[in-house]
Structure 1
């Protein structure tokens, strides 16, 4: 953790935020249980915990989006348990959520100035001043790569997050609450946000944030509060990642990354030659059985195009794909998952691309293999349930007492495990894992790392991309570094040092 600011150290008389004895249940799920939390003016305070530990629920209670079943909330000395979000905003509370709240059909300018648009003498909105006003706000906060005339739905996820954050900053808040603010941001924008968080802290603002990236907590937080099972278990000024994971999960881990014991064979599982699609410009590589092949490089260099094209979700313009030495045609995901090909894709955006949110855990997991357990159009539910129970137990999916629960009631980490479970049931031999640990907690990340290592040891071939370069450096046998849609470098592994990948990402020569 960072050194607490002088203002935070000297102000012992008042708290910026205090929650005491808070309970909150959703149906039969107890999200918060006698939870307490306190944060001071002039500090950056991190909330840590596994997915489902109650962090996001506590944030929604603090900002008034939902009410507590029991307990009290005070903001800047005022009891606000029954106060609506608008009234809390008047007290100086500003919140940005992991689930973006921008209106997709409105422009950046309209979203940014929605609560305080420029008005004329009669109080009418002066639309001609929206764009110049929004441009001035963006530039004031150091954002020069977002067009205020663009609609929100046309922005990348990272750009939408930046607009959301600028909207928070522009309100001159006294208490800022950020729920996973960096989950969708590339490194440059993470540093941009970190600078503003420190500025707010130094100006006396209380900044509360959640993050599953421990290095961010270590570099930014003056204090960290750990939640487990809806209850506060510790608040510390100093906390190592290993200690934090133990507090979060009740389990101990030897290190941040497990030792990968799988050894690739010489047998080719997937060969790509001269692939062109989207930003890809003639990529070629060979992925072997039992290998974890990392895909690195700066964001937006063709990584997503590569994964989507291999899965058939995007058409290739040129090039060939071979599985087990035989050229295959992959024009759709159905082609990719069919027998004889066996390619599965696990996306980063589990809610938009990976899950049927209203359906049950069981139906989501079974959706890709229904035909295998059907006779005459009828599914053998007994066989299906046995297979699903086995995979749920293997992946330690927190399904509670029943897999009949709607999947949208699960935490983000458990939802990601459901997506992986679906594809593991297909017995896919080639796994395309695209930023699968994005937005999941440290303990669930460790579970996924161990699972990836186990799958490689079973002989599966894994193409692995992560927005966290450290993951690629520690988990992968080799790393392909992409730049401008081409393979800029191939690094023999284990790389171990993320700096080598970063250096290769920006190095002009082909040798790294």
Structure 2
């Protein structure tokens, strides 16, 4: 196959592609094309067919009908390694790194440098250092085990690994959703460099500001069909959302109740842990949504883990309804007199057991509620699963299907439904809308407000400041492991949150 780009010919083209799973059509006669040197956005709700599309391009799946063309010549890949050898490399939302291997091992795992027939460890480390330097991750030790890295650093290692394959088509599936703000800017610059190198970048993101900044061409998918392709600027954000979901969006966030002084219910007093939490003081009232703001890595995630009993050696006090509670483990947190639930940061590794069924995942935290002694009551089990699916409007084929078969948004709904089945009094949310579509986001915003109206106390960390403004009754901004600013009422706005995040204004606002 001639690998050099041909003038006027798309680098990758799909014609009449269809794909079904268990009788459900994921793609329907899709025509799609992308050109070299383009940054091309693929937009759509979760379940629109985006993941199936990129899995066909990258050799993970085979289409039922239709054909794919690479630089004008028909191509069919039986595996991701075949696709990568032809220049199509995908960075999936579910990271492919092996946690017990080093960074250098992971980066070169498909084709390690060799000497005398053996892997050349020194050359492999040098290669890793060069690729990490290209993405401004010199702080990552090539000899470090991947399991010891933060989620953001693991995502950057995945990007370095992809660059090491010298892609002609680089597919990024929500590649920035787990990154710190600094790493996001690095990826933005990298995509600009790849464009000048005539690499085609296919960019899947639910963050419209990213799409508007980075992409020159946008394609919208809905219900497995390719709806439209257009140049950046040809359609307004509202028009794009309408194409994605097939209807107008009436309101982005549900209305907030009138400002009120909620009586403290869940109180955090002088909470400390190692050098990550430094005397955190905060309260959340029943029926209140309190947001956690601030730049990434200021202690927000550690605070939620400490409250859920994950961390050891935590100092300070936590009270509920005036009584001191000390969750020593997640089990103790979810079964105590005051029940606490945590929707974790990474649904793939912390929230779900991907090979197991949807039903088993839904019941994982609450099997005691559907059991009679040592035995599961099949009637209660069936009713509980059906209730969880109905309440969260989870789109499934069968409850016995592996949860890995669901779209990202529906997987996140399973995580949330799992914890709601424990009937919690306090709900901790760690960036729950990361990497999901606008329609599902709105469903989660509505659910949060409904749960607050039922009297739940909600502590909500989000990296999206617009969510904090739109959803929260109060916002506590963290800086260097402590809460430096609290905002409420009209004082909750993006400018105030950003200023407090940068520690420009540490005065409490009302």
TM-score, normalised by the number of residues in structure 2: 0.91
In structure 2, the partner of 1:13 is 8
Instruction: Tell me, yes or no, if the aligned pair for 2:262 and 2:285 is still in contact at 8 Å.
Output: yes
Tell whether 2:239 aligns with 1:246. no
In structure 2, the partner of 1:301 is 298
Deviation at 1:287, TM superposition (A): 0.7
Deviation at 1:243, TM superposition (A): 2.6
CA spacing shift, 1:13–1:158, aligned 2, 3 Å:
same
Which residue, out of 324, 342, 345, partners 2:342? 345
Distance across 2 between alignment mates of 1:481 and 1:223:
36
Which residue, out of 55, 78, 83, partners 1:60? 55
Tell whether 2:72 aligns with 1:77. yes
Deviation at 1:300, TM superposition (A): 1.5
Bigger drift between 82-91 and 139-148 goes to: 82-91
Deviation at 1:48, TM superposition (A): 1.0
Distance across 2 between alignment mates of 1:417 and 1:263:
29
CA spacing shift, 1:283–1:44, aligned 2, 3 Å:
same
1:248-263 matches, within 5 Å, as 248-261=244-257
Deviation at 1:82, TM superposition (A): 4.9
Instruction: Tell me, yes or no, if the aligned pair for 1:480 and 1:491 is still in contact at 8 Å.
Output: yes
Distance across 2 between alignment mates of 1:190 and 1:229:
30
Distance across 2 between alignment mates of 1:428 and 1:360:
23
In structure 2, the partner of 1:113 is 108
Deviation at 1:191, TM superposition (A): 1.1
In structure 1, the partner of 2:37 is 42
Which residue, out of 338, 355, 358, partners 2:355? 358
In structure 1, the partner of 2:268 is 272
Per-residue CA deviations over 1:53-78 (Å, capped at 9, x if unaligned) read 21111111112222111110011112
TM-score, normalised by the number of residues in structure 1: 0.91
1:190-229 matches, within 5 Å, as 190-229=184-223
1:281-300 matches, within 5 Å, as 281-300=278-297
In structure 1, the partner of 2:391 is 394
Tell whether 2:177 aligns with 1:183. yes
In structure 2, the partner of 1:102 is 97
Tell whether 2:130 aligns with 1:136. yes
Distance across 2 between alignment mates of 1:493 and 1:54:
40
Deviation at 1:85, TM superposition (A): 4.0
Per-residue CA deviations over 1:38-58 (Å, capped at 9, x if unaligned) read 112221111111222211111
In structure 2, the partner of 1:427 is 423
Q: Secondary structure at the match of 1:14?
A: coil
Q: Secondary structure at the match of 1:488?
A: strand
Deviation at 1:467, TM superposition (A): 2.0
Distance across 2 between alignment mates of 1:494 and 1:413:
31
CA spacing shift, 1:187–1:366, aligned 2, 3 Å:
same
Can you give the 5+ residue segments of structure 1 that lack an aligned partner in the other structure?
A: 1-10
Distance across 1 between alignment mates of 2:273 and 2:13:
52
Q: Secondary structure at the match of 1:102?
A: coil
Q: CA RMSD in A?
A: 2.4
CA spacing shift, 1:360–1:88, aligned 2, 3 Å:
closer
Distance across 2 between alignment mates of 1:412 and 1:315:
31
Tell whether 2:158 aligns with 1:164. yes
CA spacing shift, 1:133–1:333, aligned 2, 3 Å:
closer
Can you give the 5+ residue segments of structure 2 that lack an aligned partner in the other structure?
A: 1-5
Deviation at 1:251, TM superposition (A): 3.5
Instruction: Tell me, yes or no, if the aligned pair for 1:265 and 1:291 is still in contact at 8 Å.
Output: no
Distance across 2 between alignment mates of 1:373 and 1:334:
17
Bigger drift between 124-133 and 48-57 goes to: 124-133
Distance across 2 between alignment mates of 1:59 and 1:482:
38
Deviation at 1:339, TM superposition (A): 5.2
Instruction: Tell me, yes or no, if the aligned pair for 2:254 and 2:445 is still in contact at 8 Å.
Output: yes
Per-residue CA deviations over 1:12-63 (Å, capped at 9, x if unaligned) read 7211111111122233333222222111222111111122221111111112
